[in-house]
Chain A
């Protein structure tokens, strides 16, 4: 009798243990409304399967302190959100898992992702994370301003020469000499490195190519803007610009006629632009011999800490989060683009596609996709390139000297890794 009861109790215990769900911890990097979208998706996942319960913890995305501190300990979450440039430093240091095997087992490969996106997150053959959503940059122009100065509003500049000429035409000044409208101001300098036919690195070999002739030409062109137009005036003018995500967006207010813009700025225009404001999106104008379809991609990643005790389950969850349906849903909420091919056709995403968003999608699927080199030294390469440009602009170095310097320095630093 007693034996039977004990057996029964043991059986019940075993059954409950077998059915008890594993808990995996997910760091939700988004707050506000976007965070809520993700929370809802997590709830959905918890409801539709029985093996795992996902517990979400708020962890703001930029916080290197929290990420590095937590990963140095033993109690780690199972899936965390990081910026793309954090992926390789963490991966290189062995703090996050390479996903190659699990991806292969799940049958996910290059075909699953949009052209060029599969390499995103790789370093020396290991893929360290999955992109959450993509941020794509293209060229925007103010049609009304074009018309005002006698340019065809439907035709953006076709090449660099036209860009320079249009910029000159579109600069507008007040009676007291102060700026009223900027024609164009290049900000993301590395885009132009690629536009001029250069590149920042060789993704296959991982070699740095800072002083590629195309980059040098780009830097010379960039500094020409510095020489042609009064920098101080420009900066003062820009200081008065409002936030991008506000009715005071300078582009929407006609304070700058042409600029680089990401796809979520379509949302900004929808919300804040005046009804008669008309603008267009196109590819970046390129010089002869350059690239006419440069597509800069950036974004955030989901990664699995190496010390996670639930790696398989974490990967399953990540896989679900980046499946076409979920990917489309989340990307649409952020007004970003999903990285996964099939998501582009999912109704959750197609509902936000208009003619402008279509340009971004075309650029992404057909263009020359590049991301800023993801290296173990984090943002060092980017800050060196920025400093190099400043040196050229201030006249301390020629473009070639500045970029040669970066080449030597970064190559030397990388040799330690």
Chain B
């Protein structure tokens, strides 16, 4: 957190406001569209204020779909994923950061390399694998692999762990702490900000994931919100814009709220200088 003088502050403030207007625009457009009737969408030039203001889209979303079921499905998958990814990735990241062992750099490069192969070509053999395991048609392919680490999160956390001065660990060792204690008592608490960041992104990606649930789930009843939204909003010739926007907004809401309320973690959450003695 930087503290600066008053006049600087006003400039910063103005810039922030101007940029915010730019960034908030698509969001406002989505909100406005979700409260319009289908015919209003076609008005050109585009009107920002819906006239008339209707809640048809939202009513349709809640009555036409099995909303609560899809919501629960999505919460289940996202929750389990968060649990799996965060726990396993932090352990692995610590492993890659703290210890020295043969082939460490090579293995890490392999980890990075796995992200460089586009999903389009790994998708099908991956499906074949899960099919052989008999997991297709269930949530297993979506959840179980997450407990083996998420490469993006591992990479991110390792970068952060690398910035922790070794002195802290050494001090703790002299006090008789073992590596597990060092991990839990020193490294993890210092990594509140990156862990929160990772959680935010994993939540975002899993919550809105369309392709993976679509491919691995074979039963309408297990579908997630993103698929349900696609289904209710699609038509052969044109999508149902208000419903699509309203649904997307509803889906984005938990993430927005989560981010907004977790600002404390992003404000001086993990200063390294926090440890005394």
Contacts and interface: CB of A to CB of B under 8 A. Distances in A.
Contact between chain A and chain B defined by CB under 8 Å: yes
Interface of A: 25, 30-35, 56-60, 63, 65-66, 68-70, 72-75, 77, 242-248, 264, 268, 334
Interface residues of B, dominant DSSP: helix
Interface residues of A, dominant DSSP: loop
A100 B238 CA distance: 36
Interface in B3-55: 39, 41-42, 44
Interface of B: 39, 41-42, 44, 120, 123-124, 127-128, 130-131, 136-137, 211, 214-215, 218-220, 223, 227, 230-238, 240
Contacts of B230: 31, 60
Given A57-B218, A63-B214, A246 B231 contact: no
B42 A73 contact: no
B165 to A, nearest CB: 46
B127 A77 contact: no
A32 B44 contact: no
Contact of B127 (A25, A33, A58, A73): A73
B148 to A, nearest CB: 21
17 contacts: A31-B233, A32-B232, A34-B235, A57-B220, A60-B230, A60-B231, A68-B124, A70-B218, A73-B136, A74-B131, A75-B218, A242-B42, A242-B44, A244-B237, A245-B237, A246-B41, A247-B42
Given A58-B223, A247-B42, A248-B44, A264 B237 contact: yes
Q: 3 closest pairs, A vs B, by CB?
A: A73-B131, A31-B234, A69-B127
Given A65-B123, A247-B39, 18 more contacts: A31-B230, A32-B231, A32-B232, A32-B235, A58-B231, A65-B120, A65-B211, A66-B211, A69-B124, A72-B127, A73-B136, A75-B136, A75-B218, A242-B42, A244-B237, A246-B42, A248-B42, A248-B44
Contact of A334 (B124, B214, B236): B236
B124 A56 contact: no
A54 to B, nearest CB: 13
A66 to B, nearest CB: 5
Nearest to A61: B236
A59 B210 CA distance: 12
A70 B215 contact: yes
Contacts of B123: 65, 69
A152 B39 CA distance: 34
B136 A58 contact: no
A34 B236 contact: yes
Nearest to A36: B64
A34 B235 CA distance: 7
A257 to B, nearest CB: 21
Contacts of A63: 214
Given A69-B123, A75-B137, A247-B42, A32 B227 contact: no
Nearest to B218: A57
Nearest to A244: B237
B220 A56 contact: yes
Contacts of A33: 235
Contacts of A248: 42, 44
A98 to B, nearest CB: 23
B215 A60 contact: no
Contacts of A245: 237-238
Given A72-B131, A248-B44, A60 B234 contact: yes
Contacts of B137: 75
B215 A66 contact: yes
Contacts of A60: 214, 230-231, 234
A391 B223 CA distance: 45
A361 B231 CA distance: 31
A16 to B, nearest CB: 24
A72 B123 CA distance: 11
A335 to B, nearest CB: 9
Contact of A72 (B44, B124, B211, B219): B124
B128 A77 contact: no
B128 A32 contact: no
A77 B240 contact: no
A30 B236 contact: yes
Contacts of A70: 127, 215, 218
B150 to A, nearest CB: 21
A58 B227 contact: yes
Nearest to A265: B237
Contacts of A35: 231
B47 to A, nearest CB: 14
B240 to A, nearest CB: 6
